[in-house]
């Protein structure tokens, strides 16, 4: 039995990890901590026997792995300190998703807290980075929108099936939990119920992450807020390379994910949120209209888009069954 701790356990992703770990056959949650010493936030009870405690570095150092469910700008220094104590780290923040400190500074508008660690952290899109994750001591867990987008798009770009000289459009919708637990004028019930809107138009921080890891430059990303709690549906519009059609793209994705437990490529029909909610699944469909191929990709933003993928990565770095604790 391996032991893990959660730093930042009172937020949505920390609570989701606690829920998943409660039934994990090979991992025990040894501590659910605030991200700050001498600080225990007021929070609902966790969905397990643990409770959120003030940060205790002596207990952190005794663990095999640590999940950082902490905000960008806070995670980098925490990762450095945890690694010095010995545990492996999966960081759910954005601090290690962009491997260039200059790009990170431009996107997040502050200096990186541990630039020396950037190059060693693989981008943990697990199905497409499995071997790099397996040998890592620090893993950058992808963002939720990038996970939904890249699982559908990245293999097609890598295979040369997309005309990357023409614009790729990603029209993505997320439940309100993607904004985190702190309430805002956009996410409280009165604002989100019976409403639907685009946000971050022209400047969302996930756009550079998607462009970088897809290997494209001409990509338009527009996120929207759905009046649901969890789930992401991304609709991606691409122009196929010469001689390529939807059937060829579908075959590429089916071959890429053949035998994968958490990615399903549809032969027919379309993904829906209620088929992936509360699971670590990503469902993908490929259709064509005139000269445009349309990719649709659905995930649960709190599971495959955050805590589930983080657990998938932690399973790998600790030498466990990758699917343990996940459905």
Model pLDDT, residue 187: 66
Model pLDDT, residue 182: 63
Model pLDDT, residue 45: 64
The string over 13-28, giving b where at least 16 C-beta atoms fall within 10 Å of a residue's C-beta and e elsewhere, is bbbbbbbbbeebeebe
Q: Are residues 188 and 224 in the same domain?
A: yes
Compute the half-sphere exposure of residue 29: CA atoms within 13 Å on the CB side of its CA.
28
Q: Are residues 262 and 180 in the same domain?
A: yes
Q: Are residues 17 and 79 in the same domain?
A: yes
Indicate if 63 belongs to the active site: no
Q: Are residues 84 and 151 in the same domain?
A: no
Q: Are residues 93 and 207 in the same domain?
A: no
Q: What is the pTM of this model?
A: 0.92
Residue 107, domain extent: 2-121
Q: Are residues 152 and 297 in the same domain?
A: yes
Q: How many whole angstroms separate alpha carbon 234 and alpha carbon 225?
A: 12
Asked, for residue 15, whether it belongs to a domain, the answer is yes
Q: Are residues 187 and 241 in the same domain?
A: yes
The set of residues, in sequence order, having a beta carbon less than 8 Å from that of 156 and lying 6+ positions away, is 162, 238, 249, 252, 253, 295
**Could you say which residues of the chain have pLDDT below 70?**
37-45, 47, 49, 179-188, 190-191
Model pLDDT, residue 137: 97
The values of phi and psi at residue 192, to 5°, are: -95, -30
Q: Are residues 224 and 86 in the same domain?
A: no
CA distances from 17 to 6, 36, 137 (A): 8, 19, 19
Q: Are residues 149 and 262 in the same domain?
A: yes
Catalytic, out of 48, 63, 69, 144: 144
CATH assignment of the domain containing 112: 3.40.50.720
Model pLDDT, residue 157: 98
Q: Are residues 290 and 150 in the same domain?
A: yes
Quick check: 161 and 248 in contact, CB under 8 A?
yes
Mean pLDDT of the chain: 92
Q: How many whole angstroms separate alpha carbon 319 and alpha carbon 232?
A: 30
Q: How many whole angstroms separate alpha carbon 11 and alpha carbon 9?
A: 6
Q: Are residues 169 and 116 in the same domain?
A: no
Q: Is 266 helix (H, G, I), strand (E, B) or coil?
A: coil
Q: Are residues 162 and 107 in the same domain?
A: no
Look up tokens 């469902």; give the residue. 283
Model pLDDT, residue 300: 97
Number of domains in the chain: 2
Closest C-alpha among 132, 11, 122 to residue 74: 11
Asked, for residue 149, whether it belongs to a domain, the answer is yes
């Amino acid at each position: 039995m391996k032991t893990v701790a959660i730093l930042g356990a009172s937020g949505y992703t920390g609570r989701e990890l606690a829920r998943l770990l409660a039934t994990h056959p090979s991992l025990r949650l040894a501590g659910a901590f605030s991200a700050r010493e001498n600080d225990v936030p007021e929070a609902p009870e966790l969905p397990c026997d643990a409770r959120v405690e003030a940060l205790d570095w002596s207990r952190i150092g005794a663990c095999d792995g640590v999940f950082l469910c902490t905000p960008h700008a806070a995670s980098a220094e925490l990762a450095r300190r945890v690694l010095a104590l010995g545990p492996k780290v999966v960081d759910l923040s954005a601090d290690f998703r962009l491997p260039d400190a200059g790009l990170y500074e431009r996107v997040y508008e502050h200096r990186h807290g541990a630039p020396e660690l950037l190059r060693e952290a693989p981008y943990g899109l697990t199905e497409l980075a499995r071997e790099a994750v397996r040998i890592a001591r620090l893993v950058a867990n992808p963002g939720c929108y990038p996970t939904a987008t890249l699982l559908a798009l990245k293999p097609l770009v890598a295979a040369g099936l997309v005309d990357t000289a023409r614009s790729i459009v990603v029209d993505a919708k997320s439940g309100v939990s993607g904004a985190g637990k702190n309430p805002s004028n956009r996410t409280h019930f009165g604002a989100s119920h019976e409403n639907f809107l685009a946000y971050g138009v022209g400047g969302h921080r996930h756009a550079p992450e998607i462009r970088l890891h897809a290997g494209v430059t001409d990509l338009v990303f527009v996120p929207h807020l759905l009046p649901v709690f969890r789930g992401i549906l991304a609709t991606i519009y691409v122009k196929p390379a010469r001689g390529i059609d939807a059937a060829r793209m579908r075959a590429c994705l089916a071959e890429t994910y053949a035998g994968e437990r958490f990615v399903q490529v549809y032969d027919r029909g379309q993904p829906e949120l209620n088929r992936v909610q509360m699971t670590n699944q990503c469902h993908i469909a490929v259709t064509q209209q005139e000269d445009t191929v349309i990719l649709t990709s659905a995930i649960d933003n709190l599971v495959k888009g955050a805590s589930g993928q983080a657990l998938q990565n932690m399973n790998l770095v600790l030498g466990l069954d990758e699917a343990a604790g996940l459905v």
